[in-house]
Amino acid sequence: MLGSGYTGRLLYKTGTVEGWTVHATSRNPLNNLAGIPSEQRLQFDLEQPSTWVNVPVGVDLIWCFPAAPFEQVQAFARTLDASPRRIVVLGSTSAYDAPSQSTEYPPPWIDESAPIDLTKPRVQGEEYLRSELGAIVLRVAGIYGPGRNLLDWIRQGRVGPSRKYVNLIHVEDLAAICLAAVEKGTPGEVYNVSDGLPHTWNEICGTAQQRWGVTAAAVKEVPSPGKRISNAKLCSELDYRFRHSDLYGALDLIESTRSQS
């Protein structure tokens, strides 16, 4: 696991529970990976080539931070041995935010064949890893879960009611999907990762008010229509079944855990 932030930490736990031996990396492992046994804790910094040798030979890689800058991605990729390994790279659905994005409403469904914005450095990095090393690229929607609670974003005025569509994925599903991609993904393929149920911020803020009494701080300007991300390929080819397909049920759980802590 290259990069052990919000998703990486849960991925470490999920993988370990499922019987994988997971090595976790950080630029500063002593500070950031204190809970992980020392033999599974590695220093890795894409910007520091001297740390690249710490990646064990022949392991599968799950790349959990933006694959940029491009030159460093290329240089690191060239150091990887040719032994069989799966590489899964976490990208973002923002790859589809091309300048010519449609203003149609509701926005059209987007599958993996939609145009991507190759001017974005991370998209260049992902495409390089996919075409040269057969990496599996996951285009990930907005990640939420414990500690990343949409209701807090509304309380804090970071988001507000608008007709914009948002696509989301619970971090527990994302971690399980990363492991499913290592096991069952086809090298060189792209999979959209979203719970498949885009919501508008109007709908989320309305439900937040009715169900939890959370009032949005401000109405946001009407921005772009957003996107509706299709997860059909993920469901059919990786045969993935969601633990949290009901956003509001998941938010109930997050709120109740928070009020106990």
Ligand X SMILES: NC(=O)c1ccc[n+]([C@@H]2O[C@H](COP(=O)([O-])OP(=O)(O)OC[C@H]3O[C@@H](n4cnc5c(N)ncnc54)[C@H](OP(=O)(O)O)[C@@H]3O)[C@@H](O)[C@H]2O)c1
125 binds ligand X (CB under 6 A): no
14 forms part of the interface with ligand X (CB under 6 A): no
- The burial class, CB within 10 Å (0-12 / 13-18 / 19+), for 144 is buried
Using the contact rule CB under 6 A, the part of the chain among 24-32, 155-163, 179-187, 252-260 near ligand X is: 24-32
Using CB under 6 A, which of 14, 26, 167, 194 touches ligand X?
26
Q: Pull the structure tokens for residue 244.
A: 């949290």
> Nearest to residue 230, comparing CAs of 91, 126, 112?
112
Q: Does 145 bind ligand X (CB under 6 A)?
A: no
Size of the site for ligand X (CB under 6 A): 22
What 3 state SS string does the chain have?
Answer: CECCCHHHHHHHHHHHHCCCCCCEEECCHHHHCCCCCHHHEEECCCCCHHHHHHCCCCCCEEECCCCCCHHHHHHHHHHCCCCCCCEEEEEEHHHHCCCCCCCCCCCCEECCCCCCCCCCHHHHHHHHHHHHHCCEEEEECEEEECCECHHHHHHCCCCCCCCCEECEEEHHHHHHHHHHHHHHCCCCCEEEECCCCCEEHHHHHHHHHHHHCCCCCCCCCCCCCECEECCHHHHHHCCCCCCCCCHHHHHHHHHHHHHHC
Check residue 50 for interaction with ligand X (CB under 6 A).
no
Q: Which residue from 46, 151, 180, 214 is in contact with ligand X, where contact means CB under 6 A?
A: 46
Q: Is 142 in the site for ligand X (CB under 6 A)?
A: yes
Q: Which of 39, 47, 81, 104 binds ligand X (CB under 6 A)?
A: 47
Establish if 55 lies at the interface with ligand X (CB under 6 A): no
Using Cβ positions, the residue closest to ligand X within the complex turns out to be: 5
Identified binder of ligand X from the candidate list 143, 151, 166, 204, rule CB under 6 A: 143
Tokens of 203: 């709908």
Q: Does 250 bind ligand X (CB under 6 A)?
A: no
The minimum distance between CB 121 and ligand X, in angstroms, equals 12
Interaction of residue 129 with ligand X, rule CB under 6 A:
no
Identity of the residue, 40 or 209, whose beta carbon is nearer to ligand X in the bound complex: 40
Q: Please state the closest distance from residue 210 (CB atom) to ligand X, in A.
A: 25
Of the candidates 100, 111, 139, the residue with the CA atom closest to the CA atom of residue 123? 139
Nearer Cβ to ligand X, position 3 or 225?
Answer: 3
Choose which of 87, 95, 140, 247 interacts with ligand X (CB under 6 A).
140
22, 36, 41, 44: which one binds ligand X (CB under 6 A): 44
Contact between 96 and ligand X per CB under 6 A: no
Residue ranges binding ligand X (CB under 6 A):
3-8, 26-28, 32, 44-47, 64-66, 90, 92, 140, 142-143
